[in-house]
Amino acid sequence: MRSLVFTGFLVVSQMLTVACSDDGTGRDDGSATGTSAGATTAVGSTTAPPTTTAEATTAGSTTASDASSDASATTSATTSATTDPSTSTTDETTVSSTSTGPQPVCGDGAVDAGEECDDGPANADDAACTSACKAAACGDGLVLADTEECDDGPANADDAACTSTCKAAICGDGLIQTGVEACDDANEVDADACSNACAMASCGDGVVQQGETCDDANAIDTDACTGLCQAAACGDGFLQVGKEGCDDGNKTNTDACVGACVAATCGDGFVFAGTEACDDGNANQNDACTNLCKPPACDDKVLGGAETDIDGGGLACAKCVDGKTCKVPADCQSGGCVNGKCGMSLTRWSDGTDAWPDQACNPTNSFGNCDTNAQDHADSWATAVCKNNGYATGVWTGKKMPGCSGEISMYCQGQIPCAQQYENSCSQTDQTQIEFTCSM
């Protein structure tokens, strides 16, 4: 019994942190000794550990409760010091302790005050409950996996790269992204006012829109589709290379480019205003409009109108000189028109034709019956040929050449006047070319 009381006293003594004597002197040994009627009093107080409670009663009169006292983290222990019967002074020490436990934190799986959610280890910035224990929402700047495509926080907008519904802006979503799209009609029709590239429809975009007949995605005006997105056509003002000779943007036939987009020319049947006086669409020089697209004139250096030769003959122009073409004697200055030529006489060579045949005899004895060169027989042959061409007489000039100039030849069979005998084949050794003069 004494042993237990003493043991309890020692435990309490060791727990004390302050010891005072009756004269106020502190000690370091965890105990205090007072001299009042020879009794020892423990004075002071200490806070016991949260898990231990010790109780002691007045020394010499208190029995220790149990050597193994109940230990609790939430119990207050009160130790009463021994009261000396010879004194009225009592020192009392109170020892107390309180435990609060762990503080609440985001991620512990419990939704505490100030938290919207707490999924414990599943909290994440791409999850339904963020790492800040906030419920994920479009506009919080965090992309919720499998739900949001983007989230730019306060920058979300229907004209921005991330829309107000946290969808990535794309052409065709019906929202016009500033600086990126010119339009967005939320359809896949490429031929309306807003193309599938979210660009305003325009000529040259390669898509045939309303009002366009073609669109070849270029601005070339000289190919099959003009820069106005219209099929090339004569009269559109654009020269289509290889198909049009000109294109002045109209269908007028009286300017430099006729309605068929062909350059105006004399003979096309259209009178080029200011350039042509007439255009009858033919190449006939002898009508009322010459090939110069002018009425015939006696100084235009072309055969036209009633002229029998260039700028001569006919009723309007001067009479023709000898040798020029004529129709009647009145066309000629000499008053003679023989075989279509003006003049009182004509000197020429035979040409082996029906009108002007060669001599059918050999080059040595070319006249008569091919047995003489006598002038009278030669003149008889020349007169026969000249008369056949409208002249009155003919004379041999004395010049001849062996051979034939054509198939037809004639001789007089030795008679004066000439008894004409024609041959229709050429014999170089038995045919002669003759020069002669025909006169009126």
Q: What is the pLDDT of residues 153-186, one digit of tens each?
A: 999 999 999 999 999 999 999 999 999 999 999 9
Whether 76 shows a pLDDT value over 80: the answer reads no
- Report yes or no on 59 lying in a domain: yes
Q: pLDDT band for position 433 (50/70/90)?
A: very high
pLDDT at residue 342 is higher than 80 = yes
Q: Tell me how far the alpha carbon of residue 221 is from its chain's centroid.
A: 14
Mean pLDDT, the chain, as a whole number? 79
The percent of residues above 90 in pLDDT, for the chain, comes to: 54
- Number of other CB atoms surrounding residue 273 within 10 Å: 12
Instruction: Flag whether pLDDT at 56 surpasses 90.
Output: no
| Amino acid symbol at 339 | N
Whether the CB-CB separation of 340 and 327 falls below 8 Å is answered with yes
| 25 assigned to some structural domain | yes
Count CA atoms within 13 Å of residue 217 on its CB side: 3
Q: The domain containing residue 351 runs over which residues?
A: 344-439
Domain assignment of residue 248, yes or no: no
Distance of CA 122 to the CA centre of its chain: 53
pLDDT digits (tens, 9 = 90+) for 234-276: 999 999 988 999 999 998 999 999 989 999 999 999 999 999 9
For residue 66, report the phi and psi dihedrals to the nearest 5 degrees.
Answer: -165, 140
pLDDT of residue 138: 97
Distance CA(77)–CA(63), nearest Å, equals 17
Residue 391 domain-assigned?
Answer: yes
> What average pLDDT does the segment 378-399 reach?
93
Tell me the per-residue pLDDT of 79-127, one tens digit each, with 9 for 90 and over.
333 334 444 433 433 444 445 667 889 999 999 999 999 999 999 999 9
Residue 18 has pLDDT above 90, yes or no: no
101, 135, 154 - which closes a domain? 101
Does 327 map to a domain? no
Structure confidence by residue, pLDDT tens digits, 198-221:
988 889 989 898 889 999 999 989
Is 37 within the bounds of a domain? yes
Predicted pLDDT at 101: 66
What pLDDT does residue 100 have? Answer: 64
Mean pLDDT of 43-47: 37
Residue 135 lies in a domain: no
d(CA 307, CA 316): 8
Domain presence at residue 348: yes
**Band of the pLDDT at 233, cuts 50, 70, 90?**
very high
End position of a domain, from candidates 61, 85, 101: 101
Answer yes or no: is pLDDT of 377 > 90: yes
pLDDT at 187 over 60: yes
Q: Which long-range contacts (CB under 8 A, 24 or more apart) does 91-96 make?
A: 91/20, 91/41, 91/42, 91/43, 91/44, 92/45, 93/16, 93/42, 93/43, 93/44, 93/45, 93/46, 94/45, 95/15, 95/45, 95/46, 95/47, 95/48, 96/47
Q: Which of 7-21, 258-272, 374-388 has the lowest mean pLDDT?
A: 7-21
Residue 302 and residue 317 in contact, taking contact as beta carbons nearer than 8 Å: no
Q: What is the pLDDT of residue 388?
A: 92
Boundary of a domain, candidates 80, 101, 122: 101
Number of domains in the chain: 2
> Degrees (nearest 5) of the Cα angle 292, 294, 297?
100
